[in-house]
């Protein structure tokens, strides 16, 4: 693996992509977990497949278009659409998300079918293909990371306020609905960042597992972000190494490794608490 990393540019790109993805996941995944937006994040990530399909279809007409650019534009719009739709409709939130989730995927399938010629390898988008990340992909991922970091630094207090107590935020006169939509857009950007790394179907895992693990170890939102970036990097790079050594699918290996880390962390936390309780009992 170290050899491969030194000699093969595709391995170096995969490494860089893993780190860039873990940064976005750690920051945005923290909000997804504490604000309980897991289901809408699942909806946004699956709907991104519609953008992949449209982007692929449009490559025949627009020279700069790629499936990933299609996904970027379409996912931002579907995040805004979902955020608005679930407030305006009489449907319950999970029903509305379920509908848009499926519609997004259906649009993707239709447009890919409409595109003449050879059908592309879809499994790369659905299940990830971190080993095929290009320099251009890396630049886009870096830009998206920068947008996410700058936005979160600027709106940290406001995001914290609406995550903890949305009603109070409204009473303060904060534009809670607009802030929520901005947060959904950041989720959309993170989704696009992650498509190459673990694939559409597994994105939700990287948006939740590292942050859920981090939450077991801190009560501070900033520390939770940093810790979940660390857990994300360990999972992505470790999973990449394991998949290389054992010749397994990289996306799935990354997810299973992060779940294993979560399980180990849960057991560790439980044992520590029990020990703590024992000490307190003895002290009494």
3 state SS of 78: helix
Q: Does 38 bind other proteins (CB under 8 A)?
A: no
Q: How far is CA 192 from the centre of its chain?
A: 8
**Judged by CB under 8 A, which of 2, 157, 247, 283 binds other proteins?**
157
Q: Does 230 bind other proteins (CB under 8 A)?
A: no
**Judged by CB under 8 A, which of 6, 63, 220, 282 binds other proteins?**
220
**Judged by CB under 8 A, which of 94, 165, 277, 278 binds other proteins?**
165
Per-residue buried b or exposed e for 85-121, using 16+ beta carbons within 10 Å of the residue's own CB: bbeeeeeeeeebbeebbebbbebbeebbeebeeeeee
Identify which of residues 7 and 88 has a Cβ nearer to other proteins in the complex. Answer: 88
| Contacts for 249 with CB less than 8 Å, ≥ 6 apart | 127, 128, 243
Q: Does 219 bind other proteins (CB under 8 A)?
A: yes
Identify which of residues 28 and 236 has a Cβ nearer to other proteins in the complex. Answer: 28
Identify which of residues 25 and 254 has a Cβ nearer to other proteins in the complex. Answer: 25
Q: Does 164 bind other proteins (CB under 8 A)?
A: yes
Per-residue buried b or exposed e for 237-248, using 16+ beta carbons within 10 Å of the residue's own CB: bbbbbbbbeeee
Q: Does 149 bind other proteins (CB under 8 A)?
A: no
Q: Does 78 bind other proteins (CB under 8 A)?
A: no
**Judged by CB under 8 A, which of 89, 95, 170, 266 binds other proteins?**
170
CA distances to 5, 67, 114, 116, 140 from 12, in Å: 6, 23, 36, 34, 16
Identify which of residues 62 and 91 has a Cβ nearer to other proteins in the complex. Answer: 91
Q: How far is residue 81's CA from residue 136's CA, in Å, rounded to a whole number?
A: 28
Q: How far is residue 58's CA from residue 116's CA, in Å, rounded to a whole number?
A: 11
- To other proteins, the closest distance from the beta carbon of 147 in angstroms equals 15
Q: Which pair of structure tokens corresponds to residue 17?
A: 């992509």
- Binding part of the chain for other proteins, among 63-71, 73-81, 122-130, 150-158 by CB under 8 A, reads 150-158
- To other proteins, the closest distance from the beta carbon of 162 in angstroms equals 9
Backbone dihedral region for residue 235 (phi beyond 0: left; psi -120 to 50: alpha; all else: beta): alpha
Q: Which residues lie near other proteins (CB under 8 A)? A: 34, 36, 154-155, 157-158, 160-161, 163-165, 167-174, 215, 218-221, 224
């Amino acid at each position: 693996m170290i050899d491969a990393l030194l000699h093969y540019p595709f391995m170096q790109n995969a490494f860089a992509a893993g780190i860039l993805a873990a940064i976005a996941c750690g920051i945005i995944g923290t909000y997804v977990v504490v604000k309980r937006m897991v289901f809408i994040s699942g909806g946004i990530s699956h709907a991104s497949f519609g953008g992949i399909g449209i982007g692929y279809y449009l490559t025949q007409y627009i020279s700069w278009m790629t499936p990933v650019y299609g996904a970027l534009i379409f996912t931002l719009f579907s995040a805004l659409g979902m955020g608005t739709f679930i407030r305006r409709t009489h449907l319950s939130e999970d029903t509305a998300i379920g509908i848009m989730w499926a519609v997004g995927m259906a649009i993707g399938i239709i447009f890919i079918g409409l595109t003449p010629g050879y059908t592309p390898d879809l499994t790369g988008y659905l299940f990830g293909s971190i080993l095929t990340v290009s320099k251009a992909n890396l630049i886009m991922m870096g830009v998206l990371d920068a947008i996410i970091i700058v936005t979160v630094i600027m709106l940290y207090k406001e995001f914290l306020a609406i995550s903890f107590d949305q009603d109070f935020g409204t009473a303060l006169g904060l534009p809670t609905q607009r802030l929520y939509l901005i947060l959904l857009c950041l989720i959309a950007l993170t989704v696009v960042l992650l498509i190459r790394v673990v694939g559409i179907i597994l994105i939700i895992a990287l948006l939740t597992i590292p942050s859920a693990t981090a939450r077991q170890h801190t009560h501070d939102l900033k520390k939770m972000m940093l810790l979940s970036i660390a857990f994300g990097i360990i999972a992505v790079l470790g999973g990449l190494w394991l998949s290389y050594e054992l010749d397994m699918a990289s996306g799935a290996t990354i997810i299973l490794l992060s779940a294993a880390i979560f399980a180990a962390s849960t057991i560790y936390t439980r044992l520590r608490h029990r020990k703590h309780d024992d000490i307190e009992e003895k002290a009494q």
